[in-house]
Amino acid sequence: MQFPIFKTKIKEKGDEARVFDLNNPKERTEYFNLKAGKEIEKLREYFKKGNTFVAYLVGKKNSGKGTYAKMFSEIVDSERIEHFSIGDMIRDIDKELADKKSKNGLIKFLEKNYRGWTPIPEIISILEKRSTKTLLPTELILTLVKREIAKRGKKTLFIDGFPRDLDQMNFSLFFRDLVGYREDPDFFVLIDVPERIIDERIKYRRVCPKCQTSRNYKLLPTSKIEYEPKKKEFYLLCDNPQCRPIRLLPKEGDEAGIKPIKERLKKDEELMSQAISLYGIPKIFLRNSVPKDLAADYIDDYEITPEYYYEFNQKDKKVEIKERPWLVLDDEGKQSYSLLPPPVVVSLIKQMTKALNL
């Protein structure tokens, strides 16, 4: 599956183009104003008039769905736009079930609002015994979503985690009607990320055993690095101010990368293919990578994800953190650069403005 490449490189006035540190919030705001300022203003006016929309984020596991939606909200209008994760909603229900009063409240809500083929006692049992591999009944998900949305008020929603399976696709076509967003435009936001990127995000993840701070040895290191000469290995140390500088460790199973979730990724691919073929609902295509041989024409160097590596300075006895553009093979076998989230969100902003006819 090949998505179109979106061009974020623009000609700037003056002798030299600006270089932005996209990890710096102030510079990131300036970057968005330069690259998509007109479109951002149009979207803000749209929301000020009380307009909203529903967007379904469809992409492979760990493809950055939440990151892109939250950054869109941060840049455009954080008061009127929300990232709504079905997974987070279900995890919150786990907490409800652990409290007797909250559990009774959930049961009463379901008795009044749930329509489906599974008895409520069985639903409660499914929720209490569920595993991440088990999909909950779609009619239950819709009932719980309606409850969650009622708490939030009418806002623009980026729905993350629905549709999750092929049999839920038909429900998603009428989702805005089912949850009371009858006049809102809706969209599929389709995200293409090479599996090699997902694989390395998992393989190089490191977690603090005490405070659970999560970083990535290759892509998001801490500010403190330790070197062990005997093993000739570098280690990330926790730099959470509320913790202490102990070694971050791989999570059990992370060394296998995407192998344990291959079936899930295949299903996600099928879901995207089916979403692309649907009529009547606009699609927005987000692409995380750009082929190396086209990069100079389409993106600026500072928009490329850096890959970090380490060298030990024998003279000073210090670890030096180095970086280079992260080069990976995409799913077609082409050498490609992975993009940082901001250029992908620029693409989202510009395509969304067009889809809304602003």
| Measured CA distances, 344 to 35, 347, 350 (Å) | 11, 5, 10
Place of tokens 């806002």: 155
Examine the pLDDT at 15 and tell me if it is beyond 60: no
Written out in words, the top-level CATH class of the domain with range 25-355 is alpha beta
User: Per residue in 311-341, pLDDT tens?
Assistant: 998 888 889 999 999 999 999 999 999 999 9
Which strands make up the sheet holding 156-160, listed edge to edge? Answer: 81-85, 156-160, 54-59, 186-192, 283-287
Confidence of residue 352 (pLDDT cuts 50, 70, 90): very high
> Which pLDDT belongs to residue 202?
93
How far apart CA 229 and CA 312 sit, in angstroms, is: 9
**What proportions of the chain, in percent to the nearest 5, are helix, strand and coil?**
40, 20, 35
CA separation (Å) from 329 to 210, 289, 292?
35, 10, 10
Residue 304, strand partner residues: 339
* In the predicted structure, residue 98 carries a pLDDT above the cut 80: yes
Whether 125 shows a pLDDT value over 80: the answer reads yes
Helix/strand/coil for 172: helix
Residue 78 has pLDDT above 60, yes or no: yes
Residue type (1 letter), 14: G
Q: Give the mean model confidence (pLDDT) for residues 252-274.
A: 88
Query: Which residues, including other chains, have CB under 8 Å from residue 191's CB and lie 6 or more apart?
Result: 57, 58, 59, 60, 63, 64, 65, 68, 286, 288
Answer yes or no: are the C-beta atoms of 47 and 157 closer than 8 Å: no
Residue given tokens 């203003």 in the structure block = 41
Write out pLDDT tens, residues 292-304.
999 999 999 999 9
pLDDT of 86 over the 60 cut: yes
Helices (H), 79-129: 86-97, 100-113, 120-129
pLDDT of residue 132: 61
| Domains in the chain: boundaries | 25-355
Angle between helices 341-355 and 65-76 (to 10 degrees): 70
Mean pLDDT of the chain: 89
Type of residue at 27: E
